[in-house]
Chain A
Amino acid sequence: MWEVILGGVLVVVLMIYTLTGGADFGGGVWDLFASGPRADRQRTTIGKAIGPIWEANHVWLIILIVLLFVCFPKAFAILSTALHLPLTLCLFGIVLRGSAFVFRKYDPDNREAWRRVFAIASLVTPMMLGMTLAATSGGYIRIDQQGRWMHQDGYLATWLQPFPFMAGLLAVALCALLAAVYLLGETDDADLREDFRRRALTAAVAVGILAFATLGVALSNAPHFGWRLSGSAWAIPFQLLAGATALSVFACLWLRRYAAAKFAVGAQAVVMLSGWALAQFPYLIVPGVSIADAAASEKILAMTFWILAGGMPLLLPSFFYLYRVFSFSASR
């Protein structure tokens, strides 16, 4: 019982991280692809938007890791062994992204170079995170009788596969989409808005195509996961819902309803991650480690839950205040 609740909490934290930290990565992606006569102003808008908030947003990732090792220690031990390489690459991305972002600000002489590092790291990190996540679903991490990972499989076969690769691309596209839509609310310059709107529409198309492609690849490369996502009882309603949210993002962008677009894109991300979680359920690592296999004792799980629940009344208003103070509308 508690293990399912905490599994759900993990998914919710992942969703929040995607909607907040993911969008910060997306901002970096658009810094990389800034172009046209307003390239510099695009970059300035991006920098202003994520400057005050990215460190707070980033903590959701740390919460995710802590929850994983407190509540599901066995899964944590297996994942950090079998996925040592993508996680290490991810860490390099995180370190370079964060430090290059401040260096860019305080080292004007080399701004161009730091910008590049920041932008490229913003692309690599969500790619690796997406691959890591997909690697837990693909069935590549095989578990032996004693519940240990079969390390003779090696450290590449666990993640360097077509399905995680597609999922990584999908993650990058989703981050870029979130960022482009959020950025629409960070400026009132009509031309700049058109820039971001075009980018948002491009990203929305990319997310749509990649989502289908990833599912297609999954059917052969991650059959268990792929079948759950396309053949189980909830699959059809889920696909319809995902399609509907994706179309509503398009519609809002097309009609220039930017406030509504923000909600729609959030809903789209949440629906996509819910689909992933449903297809994964009840496994943490498909197909060898279920939520129940890896869970710590009931007491620990319950305690962790109540700590989280107890901290929220402190945390949420603080976040709300942070976002409000630095929202674009407040600065006008």
Chain B
Amino acid sequence: MTDLLAARLQMAMSLMFHILFAVAGIAMPLLMVLAEARWLKTRDEIYRTLAKRWCRGTAILFAVGAVTGTVLSFELGLLWPGFMEFAGPVIGLPFAMEGFAFFLEAIFLGIYLYGWDGKVPERVHFVAGILVCICGTLSGIFVVTANAWMNTPAGFDIEQGMAVNIDPWAAMWNPASLAQTSHMTIAAFQSVAFAVAAIHAAVLLRNPGATAHRKALAIALPVAVVTALIQPLSGDFSAKVVAESQPIKLAALEGQWETERGAPLRIGGWPDEEAEETRYAIEIPYLLSILAFNDPQAEVAGLKTVPPEDRPPVAITHFSFQIMVGCGMVMMLTALITLFLWWRGAKGPPQEWMTRHPWFLKLLIANGPLGLIAVEAGWIATEVGRQPWVIQGVMRTKDAVTQVPNIWMSLVSFTLLYLFLGIIVTILLKRQVFASLPGDGPNTDPEVD
């Protein structure tokens, strides 16, 4: 294995691990705050218990998110010193602002997690939760602008291989920033809301009378429905930005080899990089031109416009993109079904419609992992689709990589470490979730520390 490949794999592995905790850090605070708001309004103890129970899971996720994020900030240098030497000052602004967001998030999360039961005044506690939510979202937005800059670099000139005349503000608000940050933020709320809904649906399927889980589902479902309905629109906006600024990435996402007018949208299919064609795809005529440029006759550039060494790995990019869009479509349909059931159940007792049909609970369970899968697949499509560039059109990944030898050893050790952490976190979360909530058997709640 070359050091370049090992470094790419290690970066990919670390980011794909971190993002799972990052989305929880962005979206769980919202769910907790919504539950707490219900409690403050209704004084129904169940909501408070629910918020506290979610807190425990979030505490675990947040700690692992913080340490894996720290690993990432070091890894930027440990694996890509060439990239950082060039890009550090250009994308420093979002990273510095992200630092502040981390600070405030960690401070208010400390207050939120440890400040229950009158340690801080009720109102302060609630406000701390809202601040965690805002800061978590902001930190996600800031770091994604740095990534958007890698896709559509802006705000600097190059002189003797170094960036000069840097305009950090223009770099931060580069052409891809708005599309990527909004798409990512929605993705965070969507993936977590579906995962949480699935977990509580699983308990309800076994025990439909568990009121606490029903209330939990009633908090998660609206978030899931709203995000699932707007996400395809946001994705379409992302696709238009990619079509405009990264035509080769768009071609790879779609498996488009030839430059043509009235390009079709391909569903499925096998991009054959030897034969330079995409086989076995279902083609919907003109749709790609319409989606990308709002014009059935628009010209879509194909992969063949650049020499093979300038093309990204087409198959991975195309597959991951298809997986993301597929997951998005399924979740959108699920959201529509949910709306329909809710509308029909409006006359019945509140929240009863959610548990009336076991198939609906099973559908929610099946949707549980889709958001997280879509997040991972979307990022793979974005990042692999940018190859061979680390900064699109400016710096190649192979020129950014570290000269340290034997990176595979580092890759293996971090993979084992993360595998181990992943297993532990899964076991602990499972235990937290299935530890009973009121309305569902005796409440065993070992008080620690």
Contacts and interface: CB of A to CB of B under 8 A. Distances in A.
Interface of A: 44, 47-48, 51-53, 55-56, 58-59, 61-63, 65-67, 69-71, 73-74, 76-81, 84, 87-88, 90-92, 94-99, 101-103, 105-108, 151, 155, 296-297, 299-300, 303-304, 307-308, 311, 314-315, 318-319, 321-322, 325-326, 331
B84 A73 contact: yes
Contacts of B114: 51-52, 326
Interface residues of B, number: 64
B103 A56 contact: yes
Nearest to B95: A66
Contacts of A307: 93, 96-97
B424 A103 contact: yes
B157 to A, nearest CB: 12
A55 B109 contact: yes
Contacts of B120: 325
18 contacts: A55-B66, A55-B109, A59-B103, A65-B73, A66-B92, A70-B89, A73-B85, A73-B86, A74-B85, A81-B404, A95-B421, A99-B67, A103-B428, A106-B60, A296-B166, A308-B96, A314-B100, A325-B120
B106 A58 contact: yes
B7 to A, nearest CB: 11
Given A63-B99, A80-B81, A56 B93 contact: no
Contacts of A81: 77, 81, 402-404
B209 interface: no
B294 interface: no
Interface in B84-120: 84-86, 88-89, 92-93, 95-100, 102-104, 106-111, 113-115, 119-120
Nearest to A326: B114
Given A70-B89, A99-B67, A99-B421, 16 more contacts: A55-B106, A59-B106, A69-B92, A73-B86, A73-B89, A76-B77, A98-B63, A98-B67, A108-B448, A296-B88, A299-B166, A303-B93, A304-B92, A311-B100, A314-B100, A318-B104
Contacts of A44: 449
B259 interface: no
Contacts of B73: 62, 65-66
A27 to B, nearest CB: 13
Contacts, number: 191
B417 interface: yes
Contacts of A48: 449
Which residue among A44, A94, A319 has the maximum number of chain B CB atoms within 10 Å of its CB?
A94
Contact of B78 (A53, A88, A106): A88
B56 interface: yes
B88 A76 contact: yes
A99 B59 CA distance: 10
**Shortest 7 CB-CB contacts between residues of A and residues of B:** A70-B92, A80-B77, A73-B88, A77-B81, A296-B89, A69-B88, A98-B67
A69 B119 contact: no
Interface in B360-415: 402-404, 410, 413
Contacts of A107: 424, 427-428
A108 B446 contact: yes
A323 B110 CA distance: 10
A90 B164 CA distance: 33
A151 B82 CA distance: 15
Contacts of A88: 78, 410, 413
A73 B67 CA distance: 23
Contacts of A101: 63
Given A66-B99, A76-B85, A80-B77, A102 B449 contact: no
B109 A87 contact: no
Contact of A325 (B74, B95, B111): B111
Contacts of A304: 92, 96
